[in-house]
Amino acid sequence: MLSRGERENALEVPQTESQAFVGIVLAVQANYYWVRLDASCSTPSPEPSSSEQAYSELKEVTLLCTRRTRLKKMGQQVAVGDRVQVEEIDWTDSRAAISQVLPRQTELDRPPIANVDQILLVFALEEPTIDPFQLSRFLVKAESTDIPVLLCLNKGDLVTAEARQQWRDRLQLWGYDPVIVSLHASMGLDLLYSHLSDRMTVVCGPSGVGKSSLTNYLIPDTTQRVNTVSGKLSRGRHTTRHVELFQLPLGGLIADTPGFNQPDLNCAPVDLAQYFPEARQRLDADSCQFSNCLHRDEPNCVVRGDWERYEYYLTFLEEAIVYQTAIDRSGDAESTTKAKNRGEGLVQTEPMLDRKKYRRPSRRTTKQDLRELYRDVNESATDND
Ligand SMILES: Nc1nc2c(ncn2[C@@H]2O[C@H](COP(=O)(O)OP(=O)(O)OP(=O)(O)O)[C@@H](O)[C@H]2O)c(=O)[nH]1
Ligand SMILES: [Mg+2]
Ligand SMILES: [Zn+2]
């Protein structure tokens, strides 16, 4: 690690840096990675000094990086959100090479993004009218990733205060505490913002609910986008098809995603109840007679009962059973992998983990097929070599 003096020198006198620094991948295209250096890896020693300036400059440093051949040979992919070590920094041209990918805390296949701390699920109360069944489908899908979900209902200006309260009450019975906002009426935005600071959030939800409008509002300073990096690849980098992380002014990162309307429920039937907070609560308090209970007609089931979304549970269960049967029929893991390689969508080759019993404490690597979500960004933000 450089001393402060050396680092200031490095900023002032362009040179190639062989020391390793750590940063986060903000965007990926083809085999290039935009990496923002960590403030922590460049924090000056606590001497009184005039290094504030150098520090704040360094804090904002974004480098255009390639991946070391060794990583390619290992088949080590680099995704948006990855924390990486970079070497061979050329401060003049803001270029470097990624030499190592640090262990991932979370991992989503689609969108291809690592280390997300929460999913911000956005729905609109009107335009399009909120549909409880579709909302439940998204919630279940999000819950199945094992990443915390924050529910946001936008366009609060289009309904009455009474309607907003009704939705709030209803969703609380489902186990959610929604943030109700309106971009147009400046409603609830500070509260929303407070949930986003200091973490990495991926925004998803149906088309037209205001995801991009909200994201753009939250990151008003467009200079914070990675396109401040000058480079040969600037053309065509910022189509909405790319997953890209943006810095929030008060800390935290956010990635907008294209809307989709019908996520698949390709989970194991026996796990489905865990993705309904109401059912989870029942299972936490008591147990069904059979450990593999699907909560339909089994005797002494604690999940079956009088809760609003039980009917949805049954409908989704049928779908999950169809999915499971198709997987079973498709045979061994090899054929699953082949199907995956052919892009046929059987992405989940690992068994679904029971989030309650088997959750790994430090390294959640639940890979989810959110392919409906990112059908059209498939090729864009992954590493294709
Ligand atoms: N009435 C009202 N309209 C809003 C609000 N926020 C956004 N909109 C409008 O909703 C429309 C869709 O907004 P977008 O931000 O493009 O929606 P999106 O979720 O990103 O849509 P996709 O990119 O297709 O997934 C736009 O016309 C916005 O102006 C709001 O608070 N109230
Ligand atoms: Mg959008
Ligand atoms: Zn049961």
Structural domain contains residue 193: yes
Do 117 and 250 belong to one domain? yes
> For the segment 328-379, what is each residue's pLDDT rounded down to a tens digit?
888 755 555 554 444 333 333 222 212 222 333 333 333 333 333 333 333 3
C-alpha atoms less than 13 angstroms from C-alpha of 250 in its C-beta half-sphere? 8
For 288, phi and psi rounded to 5 degrees?
-75, 160
β pairing state of 107-108 and 113-114? antiparallel
Do 238 and 138 belong to one domain? yes
> For the segment 65-91, what is each residue's pLDDT rounded down to a tens digit?
999 999 999 999 999 999 999 999 999
Do 156 and 241 belong to one domain? yes
- Answer whether residue 52 shows pLDDT above 50: no
Do 21 and 72 belong to one domain? yes
Structural domain contains residue 289: yes
**267 close to 320: Cβ distance less than 8 angstroms:** yes
Beta bridge partners of 151: 121
Q: Please tell me the number of the ligand nearest to residue 294's CA.
A: 3
How high is the pLDDT of residue 372? 32
Structural domain contains residue 10: yes
**373 close to 260: Cβ distance less than 8 angstroms:** yes
> For the segment 259-305, what is each residue's pLDDT rounded down to a tens digit?
888 888 889 999 999 999 999 999 999 999 999 999 999 999 999 99
Do 165 and 64 belong to one domain? no
User: Given 255, 289, 309, which residue is the final one in a domain?
Assistant: 255
Q: Determine the average pLDDT of the residues in 248-266.
A: 89
Structural domain contains residue 351: no
- Nearest-angstrom CA–CA distance, 266 and 272: 10
Q: Determine the average pLDDT of the residues in 31-48.
A: 69
Do 120 and 250 belong to one domain? yes
Do 147 and 242 belong to one domain? yes
**233 close to 64: Cβ distance less than 8 angstroms:** yes
Q: Please tell me the number of the ligand nearest to residue 216's CA.
A: 1
CATH number of the domain bearing residue 224: 3.40.50.300
How high is the pLDDT of residue 109? 84
Structural domain contains residue 354: no
User: What is the domain extent for residue 159?
Assistant: 113-255
Q: Determine the average pLDDT of the residues in 29-36.
A: 92
Q: Is 139 in the pocket of ligand 1 (CB under 6 A)?
A: no
Q: Which atom of ligand 1 is nearest to the CA of 214?
A: 15
Ligand 2 centroid to Cα of residue 208, in Å, is 7
At residue 59 the predicted structure's pLDDT band, cuts being 50, 70 and 90, is low
Structural domain contains residue 136: yes
Ligand 3 centroid to Cα of residue 326, in Å, is 24
β pairing state of 253-255 and 245-247? antiparallel
Q: State pTM to two decimals.
A: 0.78
Do 164 and 247 belong to one domain? yes
Please, which residues have CB within 8 angstroms of residue 41's CB and are 6 or more apart in sequence?
A: 1, 21, 22, 23
Number of domains in the chain: 3
Do 130 and 240 belong to one domain? yes
